[in-house]
Structure formats: C-alpha cells, structure tokens
Structure 1
Amino acid sequence: MVSRLDHPTSGVLPVALGVEGSAAAHWLTAQFSGRLVRKEYVCLCEGPSLGAIGSVGNISTNLYTQELDGGRTARTEVSPEGREALTSYEVRRTTVLLLCYCC
C-alpha cells in the first residue's frame, strides 16, 4: 500500500492498493518522489498575525525522515540534514476567537 499525507494533517488520503511493485503503486510513488503532487490545505492559526487579508509568504524548513522498524514506519523531524520543504501561504480571512464560559 502506498499512502502519503503530511503528518499530523488530516483530510483526503490518496492510496494505491495492489501487489508490491504494481503499476498503480509505482505511479503514485513516482508522483510524490518527483514532487509532482500539489497539496493544498486550509488551516486555522492562533497567535501572531501573518498579515492582513491578501498577504502572502513562504515558510521554508528542512525535514529529515528516518525509517524505523525496517522501513515499516518513519519519523520526520526538522533537521539541517533534511530535504527542503517549502510552504507558500495566503491570508484569506481573519477573525477573533473568544473563550466563553456559560453557567
């Protein structure tokens, strides 16, 4: 089985099922390895503002993935030894969050 989703993101999960080395699994793996997949997320952020509505920016960091359990699982962490991960963002809307206690 081939599946890819940025941890700890939830949402649509593309999956290729079949025997190891099947055409579907090979194709999907090649799409991610070649960085041909465009992923788009909608998120809610708390904390310092990223700017006014319409502001755009980039976040760049290096992520290193270490295989564990003979390649059955993996752990990814920020590391200078890692591969560049670039995220572009656009502020689409802002709001104020309120914490209310009702009794």
Structure 2
Amino acid sequence: MGNISSPNYPGNYDNNLVVTWLIVTGPGTKIELTFQDVSTECGYDNVQIMDGPSSSDPVIGTLCTLPGVNSLTSTSNALFINFTSDSSVSGRGFILTYMEIAA
C-alpha cells in the first residue's frame, strides 16, 4: 500500500507539469487505486490512468475532480499514471492510495 500525490499537494501544483508514476505489484495481482482528493483545472489539467506499464496502454480513467466512484482497479499488476498541467491556472491537485489485491 502506498500514496501518490501531485507536486506540492495540498498546495497548488506548478504550471507546465508532466509527471508520471509507474506502480507494479507482484505477479498474479491487481492494483486498486482510491482517490482521496482531486482538484485540477478541468479541461486543461488532469490525471490520466493507463491499465498497464506504459503511456500507450488503454486509458481506464481521466480525472480532474473527485468522481462519484472514487476507485479504479487494474486488470494486471501494473498501472501508469500521468499528471499534466497547462501554462496557467493551477489547483490543489490530487492524492490517491494504491494497494495490491488478489487477481
């Protein structure tokens, strides 16, 4: 189990960011993400979650605010997370927890 947050969280993140994370768990497991808080400039800044180890894997979530359903589960033992911001207006960003679960 672990946490990932945008730079400076809970303070505002910087403009012009591209930040990536790769989560890999044990063979034969999945990953469950739970978003605790998401507050970005919708349409311009977002958190994108790919179902696999790279940015070319299928997107299973793109968030700019806390969704009604605040958790996502991978289909394998890897998730790639990409956070981007544009050149103006920033927000608090996000914080999430992740944990390994049985496949």
For Structure 1 versus Structure 2, the TM-score category normalised by the shorter chain is under 0.3
Higher relative contact order at CA 8 Å, sep ≥6: structure 1 or structure 2? 2
- Higher CA-based Rg: 1
Question: What is the TM-score with the length of structure 1 in the denominator?
Answer: 0.21
Point out the structure with the larger strand share.
Answer: 2
